[in-house]
């Protein structure tokens, strides 16, 4: 047995489990609060939150997530190691998830604080996962390890599909309890199977350890200060940031608003709402893989240049889905037509794998972690404000499609504008600041170390 693939599977499952606790609220919230257009009695309604309060509850996770993402990387790599960080973040998130029903019944403020803490905990997951991948994946296998991060999408599909059934059978509280209990059990498996690197794994074979360590040694570089100023003034980087904000808006708009729109405006049952929301997200994930595979073929066979591929992909990932959202604002179609449009828009958005999802690697390879952190922060920021904007326009009459018109117009504008500006300003060229240059201070330090070695 090759233990590096066990690690890859566990990285996949860690993202799956943590996303379960991240996205369950979107469906649970449909049953937790009074809904005018919702006629089924799935459990006693105990909450009376306004649309604004619901938006803050949904966005609260991303407030904490933004902070956790900034601190997670250093903590994972320098203090505890990825194994402990992912174990602790999952354990803490599981406890908070189990406490969610009590927090919601206590007060809006308590639930908001809990969601912020849950987001802060979840923010450590991706930096720790990337650190673990760096320690276990040789360059020729790194793509497969990074692909394991798709576990979050599978977790979303499973959660949204099961939430409706759990709510109708046992009440909305079990939309939290079930996933919290599962996460607690998962942490036991993680602790006994995963280690930070091959050197400390007690069960790995000597040959596999040597294979991994030799491969990683080739790629490791010294610690170099990132050129922050040059990055922030780089037009291609700024263009990528704008497009990534559009990506985040589109994705998190669906995560936070789709269950509410399907249940309230389109009148789907709670079980159907959960399953359909999950299918939408799962289909997008499948298309991510499919379009990425087709893009690789196009490049290998030289059917398209890298520059053309990125810009064509941005049309499909941003512009076309944005235009489709305009149709959702027209109150002249059946629920089936609206649902088909949503599914089509999110499936085509899977081209993001070839546009904003990959463009950062075109611009830099030495500072991709720093650029990735910047991009992730902007995507998260979109997740913070998207629910608030939605609540502002749908607060009075969210059961009618007409009330959602401004939301769809805004989302359409964000997606189309972010895609078009990338076509104009985006680049696939390695940026000049990517080159690692020794500073005077670094050269002096190296001379000092050489002098010390000579004296010894």
Q: Is the pLDDT of residue 213 over 90?
A: no
Q: Is the pLDDT of residue 421 over 80?
A: yes
**CATH 1.20.1250.20 residue spans of the chain:** 1-212, 229-442
Per-residue HEC secondary structure of the chain comes to CCHHHHHHHHHHHHHHHHHHHHHHHHHHHHHHCCCCCCCCCCCCCCCCCCHHHHHHHHHHHHHHHHHHHHHHHHHHHHHHCHHHHHHHHHHHHHHHHHHHHHHHHHCHHHHHHHHHHHHHHHCCHHHHHHHHHHHHCCHHHHHHHHHHHHHHHHHHHHHHHHHHHHHHHHCCCHHHHHHHHHHHHHHHHHHHHCCCCHHHCCCCCHHHHHHHHHHHHHHCCCCCCCCHHHHHCCHHHHHHHHHHHHHHHHHHHHHHHHHHHHHHHCCCCHHHHHHHHHHHHHHHHHHHHHHHHHHHHHHHCCCCCHHHHHHHHHHHHHHHHHHHHHHHCCCCCCHHHHHHHHHHHHHHHHHHHHCHHHHHHHHCCCCHHHHHHHHHHHHHHHHHHHHHHHHHHHCCCCCCHHHHHHHHHHHHHHHHHHHHHHHHHCCCCCCHHHCCCCCHHHHHHHHHHHHHHHHC
pLDDT at 438: 47
pLDDT at 399: 67
More confident residue, 417 or 283: 417
pLDDT above 70 covers a percentage of the chain that reads 84
Q: Is the pLDDT of residue 440 over 50?
A: no
- Write the pLDDT tens digit of every residue in 340-387: 888 899 889 889 888 988 888 788 877 776 787 788 888 888 878 888
Mean local confidence (pLDDT), 77-101: 91
Mean local confidence (pLDDT), 243-263: 82
What is d(CA 58, CA 407) in angstroms, rounded to the nearest whole number? 16
Mean local confidence (pLDDT), 51-80: 78
- Write the pLDDT tens digit of every residue in 118-159: 999 998 888 788 778 778 877 667 656 766 777 787 888 888
pLDDT at 118: 96
pLDDT at 441: 44
Mean local confidence (pLDDT), 89-104: 96
Distances (CA, A) of 37 to 30, 57, 184, 261, 406: 11, 21, 36, 11, 20
Q: Is the pLDDT of residue 219 over 70?
A: no
Window from 6-10, 74-78, 99-103 with minimum mean pLDDT: 74-78
- Write the pLDDT tens digit of every residue in 399-414: 677 788 888 899 999 9
pLDDT band at 34 (very low <50, low <70, confident <90, very high): low
Most confident of 78-82, 93-97, 271-275: 93-97
**Whole-prediction pTM:** 0.72
For the chain, the average pLDDT equals: 83
Q: Is the pLDDT of residue 97 over 70?
A: yes
pLDDT at 262: 75
Most confident of 65-74, 134-143, 284-293, 401-410: 401-410
pLDDT at 131: 77
Q: Is the pLDDT of residue 220 over 70?
A: no
How long a stretch of residues is the chain?
A: 456
CATH code of 1-212, in short, is 1.20.1250.20
pLDDT at 75: 63
pLDDT at 78: 66
Window from 222-226, 271-275, 326-330, 437-441 with minimum mean pLDDT: 437-441
- Asked if 328 contacts 403 with a C-beta cutoff of 8 angstroms, the reply is no
Q: Is the pLDDT of residue 314 over 90?
A: yes
Q: Has domain 229-442 been given CATH number 1.20.1250.20? A: yes
């Amino acid at each position: 047995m090759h233990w590096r693939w066990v690690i890859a599977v566990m990285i996949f499952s860690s993202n799956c489990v943590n996303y379960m606790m991240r996205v369950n609220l979107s469906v649970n919230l449909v049953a937790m609060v009074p809904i005018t257009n919702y006629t089924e009695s799935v459990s006693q309604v105990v909450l009376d939150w306004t649309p604004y309060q619901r938006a803050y509850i949904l966005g609260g996770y991303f407030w904490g997530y933004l902070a956790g993402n900034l601190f997670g990387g250093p903590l994972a790599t320098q203090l505890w190691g990825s194994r402990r960080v992912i174990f602790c973040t999952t354990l803490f998130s599981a406890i908070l998830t189990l406490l969610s029903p009590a927090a919601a019944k206590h007060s809006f403020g308590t639930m908001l604080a809990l969601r912020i803490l849950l987001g802060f905990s979840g923010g450590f997951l991706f930096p720790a996962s990337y650190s673990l991948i760096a320690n276990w994946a040789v360059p020729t296998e790194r793509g497969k390890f990074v692909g394991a991060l798709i576990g979050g999408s599978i977790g979303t599909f499973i959660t949204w599909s099961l939430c409706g059934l759990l709510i109708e059978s046992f009440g909305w509280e079990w939309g939290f309890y079930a996933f919290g209990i599962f996460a607690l059990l998962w942490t036991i498996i993680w602790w006994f199977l995963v280690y930070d690197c091959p050197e400390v794994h007690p069960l790995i074979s000597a040959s596999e350890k040597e294979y991994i360590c030799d491969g990683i040694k080739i790629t490791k570089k010294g610690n170099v200060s990132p050129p922050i100023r040059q990055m922030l003034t780089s037009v291609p980087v700024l263009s990528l940031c704008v497009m990534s904000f559009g990506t985040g808006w589109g994705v998190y708009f669906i995560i936070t608003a789709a269950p509410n729109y399907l249940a309230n405006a389109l009148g789907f049952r709670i079980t159907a709402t959960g399953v359909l929301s999950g299918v939408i997200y799962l289909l997008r994930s499948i298309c991510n893989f499919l379009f990425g595979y087709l893009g690789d073929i196009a490049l290998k066979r030289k059917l398209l240049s890298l520059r053309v591929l990125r810009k064509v992909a941005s049309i499909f990932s941003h512009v076309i889905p944005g235009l489709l959202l305009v149709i959702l604002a027209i109150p002249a179609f059946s629920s089936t037509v609206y649902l088909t449009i949503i599914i089509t828009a999110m499936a085509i958005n899977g081209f993001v794998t070839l546009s904003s999802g990959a463009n950062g690697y075109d611009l830099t390879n030495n500072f991709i972690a720093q650029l990735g952190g910047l991009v992730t922060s902007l995507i998260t920021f979109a997740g913070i404000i998207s629910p608030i904007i939605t609540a502002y326009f749908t607060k009075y009459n969210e059961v009618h499609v007409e009330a959602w018109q401004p939301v769809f117009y805004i989302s359409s504008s964000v997606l189309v504008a972010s895609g078009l500006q990338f076509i104009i300003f985006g680049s696939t060229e390695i940026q000049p600041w990517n080159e690692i240059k020794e500073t005077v201070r670094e050269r002096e330090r190296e001379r000092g170390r050489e002098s010390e070695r000579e004296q010894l």
